[in-house]
Amino acid sequence: MSVVLACDLGGTSFRAALVDEAGTVLAQHQIAGPATRDAGGVSEIEPEAWWAHLREACAALARAEPALFSAVAGIAICGVTRTQVVLDTAGRPLRPAMSWKDVRAEAVATALRMRCDPAHPETAQLNAFHPLARLAWLREAEPQVAAALACVVEPKDFLNLRLTGVAVSDPVSLARLVAAARPVAGGDLFAAAGVPGAILPLLREPWQAVGPVLPGLPAPLDRLAGVPVFCSSNDTYAAVLGLGAMRHGYAYNLSGTTEVLGVVGREPALAEGLMSVDWRGLFQLGGPSQTGADTVSWLMGLLGRAERPVGSEMAALLAGPRHPQPLIFLPYLQGERVPYWDPSLRGALVGLARGHGPTDLAYAVLEGVACLNRIVLARAEAALGLTVTEIRFGGGGAANPVWSQIKADLCGRPVVVGAAAEPGLLGAAILAFTGLGRFADLSQAQEALAATARRFTPDPARKAAYDSLHALYGRAEAALAPLSHALAAEGRQGAALAGLRGMAASP
């Protein structure tokens, strides 16, 4: 039996599994993600915590299935993107990684856009979440670190480096930096940012090998010495493979910590606020939001239900009666990436009446995220000139059939839930098996291993109501964005109100 070690370094957890050539997960271990320092626009993670998680997960798999673990033929790790790990010449982290939520580069990004040639296609993409803007911020805020910077990689690349001793990334994960480094007459974005182009690592295709596992690593990794490690890619790319959506005319929707939606086509296209990325023969148009299924966790905490299983609690809320007047929920609890790239957007509940209760809040949260899905889908379809045949849906949110139906109804497209409970793990396994030569290419591997579980079709009876709700959602966005910016500015200027506490009435 041929087995690969597939890992998914997610936003809130680290998952590792032993997967066979049929795509069956034979053993799996999950660890809660490392602590993130989130405050005042800062979001940082210690890279060494990911290395510790990999060792811990492998130790658990080795204890559970020692024979299978010793038979691992290949390794592939996918992971979160837009998270920069900066390394010195010896491959050691110089500082904590800046996670996808970090917005400290907002002002630097604005200034950098003004200095860059507007004819360069990446200039318009420069924002607080862009890796080049973050490196420019690092040069200004931490010059000693910037001076020692030799290479910048993504989290999964850091783990591959620790396993093989080779610093390599792939052109999908580093798409924005690769695009910024592309020379255009009269425009050099790296020079404008004061960042040397030499900090880019070597690039390999996601299915290509980085190198073999080094000998002498801590147990149980020492048992994997000589096993090839494949470059792999970001978690979205891997999960889309695991959903079977890496094909022309399909859309994908991943609902984990963040919500990611995009359309896959044969030709590149551009649309306002969407990321266009070469997926090695196909092109995706879409990208990640700042908040997805995490809004459900937020709601559970707000309602005092955070200590109980989120899935069952949400199902109980959705089973209750709804108020006849719907609510509008703007899900911008941490600013927003696609399609607005605005760290100062804020969330809102619009239309609250005395009769609304927890069930109405639950529906509003799910419908609000689906409204944003529809905006991204419409922009991508218009730019590509196609109507998608179906939306492949995966991640934790896909376990909720009500949400799947809401997405189908609001987007007006069939929503098909993948059979793999962890599409990112399956996608990583697909990359490893393709790299090992078990399949001729990714298309063949995807066709063989990515199955579907359930299909949700749009209900015509709800079309008019959801079209109306979506139009009101757009009006609420436009009306409240200026207030969001003003409130965010108040928060940056000081915390005068934060010290106010409840006080006993004076006698």
User: In this structure, what DSSP letter does residue 6 have?
Assistant: E
Task: Choose which CATH entry (3.30.70.100, 2.40.50.140, 2.40.160.20, 3.30.420.40) describes domain 3-233.
Answer: 3.30.420.40
Q: Over 109-142, what HEC string results?
A: HHHHHHHCCCCCCCHHHCCCCCHHHHHHHHHHHC
Tell me how far apart the alpha carbons of residues 443 and 240 are, in angstroms, rounded to a whole number.
12
Tell me how far apart the alpha carbons of residues 214 and 292 are, in angstroms, rounded to a whole number.
38
Which of 194, 160, 167 has the alpha carbon at shortest distance from 180? Answer: 194
Lowest mean pLDDT among 18-27, 116-125, 168-177: 116-125
The pLDDT value given to residue 186:
61
Count of CB atoms within 10 A of residue 124's CB?
A: 14
Tell me how far apart the alpha carbons of residues 484 and 481 are, in angstroms, rounded to a whole number.
5
Query: Residue 39 above 90 pLDDT?
Result: no
pLDDT in tens, 326-380: 999 999 999 999 999 999 999 999 999 999 999 999 999 999 999 999 999 999 9
Query: Any idea where the domains of the chain sit in the sequence?
Result: 3-233, 246-489
For the chain, how long is the longest CA-to-CA vector? 82
| The two three-digit tokens of residue 9, written as one number | 């370094």
| The two three-digit tokens of residue 6, written as one number | 């597939």
Query: Residue 502 above 90 pLDDT?
Result: no
Tell me how far apart the alpha carbons of residues 277 and 252 are, in angstroms, rounded to a whole number.
14
Q: For residue 245, what are the CA distances in angstroms to 4, 109, 253, 344, 387?
A: 22, 33, 9, 32, 15
Query: Residue 499 above 80 pLDDT?
Result: no
Query: Residue 190 above 60 pLDDT?
Result: yes
- Let me know: does 386 contact 265? Beta carbons within 8 Å: yes
Q: Can you state the angle between helices 155-164 and 47-64, rounded to 10 degrees?
A: 60
Q: Can you state the angle between helices 294-302 and 358-384, rounded to 10 degrees?
A: 160
User: In this structure, what DSSP letter does residue 84 have?
Assistant: B
Backbone angles phi, psi at 234, to 5 degrees: -75, 170
- Let me know: does 208 contact 231? Beta carbons within 8 Å: yes
User: In this structure, what DSSP letter does residue 325 have?
Assistant: S
Which of 431, 402, 469, 418 has the alpha carbon at shortest distance from 210? Answer: 431
Tell me how far apart the alpha carbons of residues 98 and 504 are, in angstroms, rounded to a whole number.
43
Tell me how far apart the alpha carbons of residues 348 and 28 are, in angstroms, rounded to a whole number.
38
pLDDT in tens, 238-281: 999 999 999 999 999 999 878 999 999 999 999 999 999 999 99
The pLDDT value given to residue 294:
86
The pLDDT value given to residue 40:
83
Q: Supply the mean pLDDT for the chain.
A: 94
Tell me how far apart the alpha carbons of residues 340 and 481 are, in angstroms, rounded to a whole number.
11
The pLDDT value given to residue 496:
67
Tell me how far apart the alpha carbons of residues 483 and 346 are, in angstroms, rounded to a whole number.
9
Secondary structure class of 215 (helix, strand, coil): coil
Query: Residue 461 above 90 pLDDT?
Result: yes
**Mean pLDDT to the nearest integer, 468-479:** 98
Looking at domain 246-489, what is its CATH homologous superfamily? ATPase, nucleotide binding domain (3.30.420.40)
**Per-residue confidence band for 183, with pLDDT thresholds at 50, 70 and 90:** confident
Comparison of pLDDT for 119 and 17, the residue scoring more = 17
The pLDDT value given to residue 57:
98
**Per-residue confidence band for 310, with pLDDT thresholds at 50, 70 and 90:** confident
Please give the sequence-ordered ranges of beta strands (E in DSSP) within 33-171, or none if there are none.
37-39, 42-45, 72-79, 85-87, 97-98, 151-153, 168-169
β-bridge partners, 264: 284
Secondary structure class of 302 (helix, strand, coil): helix
From the number of C-beta atoms within 10 Å of its C-beta (0-12, 13-18, 19+), residue 174 rates as buried
Secondary structure class of 97 (helix, strand, coil): strand
The pLDDT value given to residue 492:
77
Count of CB atoms within 10 A of residue 222's CB?
A: 12
The reply to whether 3-233 and 246-489 are identical in fold is yes
- Let me know: does 229 contact 212? Beta carbons within 8 Å: yes
pLDDT in tens, 62-74: 999 999 999 999 9
pLDDT in tens, 289-305: 987 888 999 999 999 99
> 322-342 burial, b for 16+ CB within 10 Å, e for fewer?
ebeebbbbbbbebbbbbbbbb
Q: Can you state the angle between helices 310-318 and 358-384, rounded to 10 degrees?
A: 100
| The two three-digit tokens of residue 29, written as one number | 């271990």
Query: Residue 506 above 60 pLDDT?
Result: no
The pLDDT value given to residue 505:
52
Tell me how far apart the alpha carbons of residues 426 and 431 are, in angstroms, rounded to a whole number.
9
The pLDDT value given to residue 494:
67
**Per-residue confidence band for 497, with pLDDT thresholds at 50, 70 and 90:** confident
User: In this structure, what DSSP letter does residue 91 have?
Assistant: S
